[in-house]
Amino acid sequence: MGRKPFQFPGVRSTVSAVAPLARPIFGEVSADGRLLRADEALSRLNKRAGGEDGAMLAIPALASLAQLSVRLQMQLSRSVRVADGPENLELWVEVKPEPTFARLAIIGWQVLSEPVASTYSVRDDVQTDYPDAMLFNASHRLVRANGIAAGGLVAEDFGKTAADVLLARYQNNDELEDLLAAINGARGFQERLLIRSADGQHLRVTGRPVDNGHGPNGYRMLFAVTPTPEGDLASNQSAGQPAALFGKHLAPALRQPLGRIIANAETIGSELQGPIRENYALYARDIADAARHLSALVEDLGDLEAIERPGFQTARDQIDLGDVARRVAGLLALKAADHSIRILAPQDSHAAPAVAEFRRTLQILLNLVSNAIRYSPDGTDVRIDTACGKSFTSVSVVDQGKGIAIEDRDKVFEKFERLGRSGDGGSGLGLYISRRLAEAMGGALTVDSADGGGAKFTLRLPNH
């Protein structure tokens, strides 16, 4: 005889195609997503996903369902799909809310034969106890921290995104921004230097994504203390140079709240915590866009201060402008696709060696291609070309827009100059900063008319 599916009082549900369990698996999850109590099977699943009993539930699909039930004070019943190592599971879950926590009952548990596209667990190898480490789950939320990495963390920090955790603890400089970009892109990084805001302690951090066999679905960061160098502010003052007031003091103070505004607005706008009215979602996206504009302005002002400081220098890296161009095309592909614009980058086999700082060159090209997308008609192409000369290598960004009049070609590189444009989200600093960076690297940035109309910005850099 078939067993009647377990039900909380007042909940009427069916398990559909999910195989019913002989005995339900129970658990309790707090309103902020911590696993308060769990039967052995749920506890083991959570630990394999990188979590621990009493800490944040490391299975976001279950955590979100429990939090939604508490927030709405509504009993819910639905199917949840997760990955468990090499296996993919479909669970049927019933949730009953209490004032401060939710009661879970998993009444169906089935191993799927096909991979699940959206999975949220981490393989068993992340259970290795690293003495100084942070572990984030598939949705980039903190589920574990040991040693140095755990210093100063409180219970409320677990379950927060990597951006929220790191921006609140470390100075928001270029290193941290590159690190967050690597986490978001599921890319590894080596020996990044972070500065702890609380005490100025310098830490070297290495990170890598964790793979469950179907692609990245977690991230681990390893920390090590490094000797603190002499403070830049003190050395600048002793040398008689003006202190970098904005870049070193005001910019980090502005980045943290802006980062939180963007993260929270995106969470609301994407309806990760449950459906909301359409106009509210649009408001949230507008808030996120406005915060991004302010964040970009903060970055521009920080760069402006840096390049105008006496003695500003850039690194001399051996780079490939073709590779930089392809990276930029990848980073801006979605932005271009929103306007049906194609970015045509050099082929993989095309090398264009140069000697310049990689990060600054990437910054210049990102600005040039972003501008080309912004001012090009929908459905057109933006082309990135490279050319090698005897002493210089060049990379050009060519669009099919209205172009720039001859009398305005020097003016576009002036500080805060926007040629009468308004409401397009620009600060009028991007091209000024880009030209100053090009000159600091021994090169030049110019603009001409493209064949058939449009603008052609060309960055020339030394190749030896």
The number of distinct structural domains making up the chain is 4
Asked which of 242, 277, 312 is the last residue of a domain, the reply is: 312
H or E stretch including 298?
helix 278-307
pLDDT beyond 50 at 125: no
* pLDDT score, position 301: 77
The answer as to whether 412 is a domain residue is yes
* pLDDT score, position 63: 81
Residues 326, 445 share a domain: yes
* Greater model confidence, 444 or 149: 444
Give the structural domain span for 102. Answer: 20-112
pLDDT beyond 60 at 375: yes
Q: Which residue has the tokens 């002793």?
A: 238
Nearest to 143 by CA among 124, 161, 167, 128: 161
The answer as to whether 380 is a domain residue is yes
Quick check: 133 and 153 in contact, CB under 8 A?
Answer: no
Quick check: 60 and 122 in contact, CB under 8 A?
Answer: no
* pLDDT score, position 397: 95
Question: pLDDT digit string (tens) for 259-293?
Answer: 778 777 877 877 766 677 777 878 887 787 777 77
pLDDT over 90 for what percent of the chain?
A: 19
- At residue 135 the predicted structure's pLDDT band, cuts being 50, 70 and 90, is confident
pLDDT beyond 60 at 213: no
Mean pLDDT (whole number) for 168-184: 80
The answer as to whether 11 is a domain residue is no
* pLDDT score, position 240: 41
What are residue 393's DSSP bridge partners? 388, 461
Q: Which residue has the tokens 């903190």?
A: 142
Residues 308, 323 share a domain: no
* pLDDT score, position 3: 37
φ/ψ of 317, rounded to 5, equals: -100, 150
pLDDT over 70 for what percent of the chain?
A: 80
Mean pLDDT of the chain: 77
The answer as to whether 137 is a domain residue is yes
- At residue 448 the predicted structure's pLDDT band, cuts being 50, 70 and 90, is very high
DSSP string, 173-214: SHHHHHHHHHHHTT--EEEEEEEBTTT--EEEEEEEEEE-SS
Residues 105, 43 share a domain: yes
Residues 133, 209 share a domain: yes
Q: What's the rounded Cα separation, in Å, for the pair 35 and 19? A: 24
Asked which of 214, 229, 244 is the last residue of a domain, the reply is: 229
Residues 178, 219 share a domain: yes
Q: What's the rounded Cα separation, in Å, for the pair 164 and 258? A: 11
The answer as to whether 242 is a domain residue is yes
Write the CATH number for 457: 3.30.565.10
Q: What's the rounded Cα separation, in Å, for the pair 110 and 140? A: 26
pLDDT beyond 80 at 329: yes
Q: What's the rounded Cα separation, in Å, for the pair 443 and 463? A: 10
Pairing of strands 87-97, 101-112: antiparallel
The answer as to whether 7 is a domain residue is no
Quick check: 175 and 194 in contact, CB under 8 A?
Answer: yes
* pLDDT score, position 84: 67
* pLDDT score, position 59: 81
pTM reported for the whole predicted model = 0.47
**Pick from 76-85, 133-142, 225-234: least confident:** 225-234
* pLDDT score, position 302: 74
Measured at the alpha carbon of residue 332, what is the angle toward residues 453 and 304, in degrees to the nearest 5? 85
Measured at the alpha carbon of residue 376, what is the angle toward residues 372 and 380, in degrees to the nearest 5? 110
SS3 434: helix
Mean pLDDT (whole number) for 310-317: 81
Q: What's the rounded Cα separation, in Å, for the pair 158 and 150? A: 10
**Helix, strand, coil percentages in the chain from 3-state DSSP, rounded to 5:** 35, 30, 35
Quick check: 371 and 336 in contact, CB under 8 A?
Answer: no
* Greater model confidence, 402 or 173: 402
pLDDT beyond 90 at 195: no
The answer as to whether 1 is a domain residue is no
Residues 271, 167 share a domain: no
Out of 223-237, 342-356, 405-419, the most confident range is 342-356
Mean pLDDT (whole number) for 83-100: 79
The answer as to whether 151 is a domain residue is yes
Q: Which residues contact 104 (CB under 8 A, 6 or more apart)?
A: 26, 27, 28, 29, 42, 62, 66, 93, 94, 95
pLDDT beyond 60 at 105: yes
- At residue 12 the predicted structure's pLDDT band, cuts being 50, 70 and 90, is very low
pLDDT beyond 80 at 82: no
Asked which of 213, 229, 245 is the last residue of a domain, the reply is: 229
pLDDT beyond 90 at 394: yes
How many helices (H) and strands (E) the chain has is answered by 12, 17
Write the CATH number for 171: 3.30.450.20
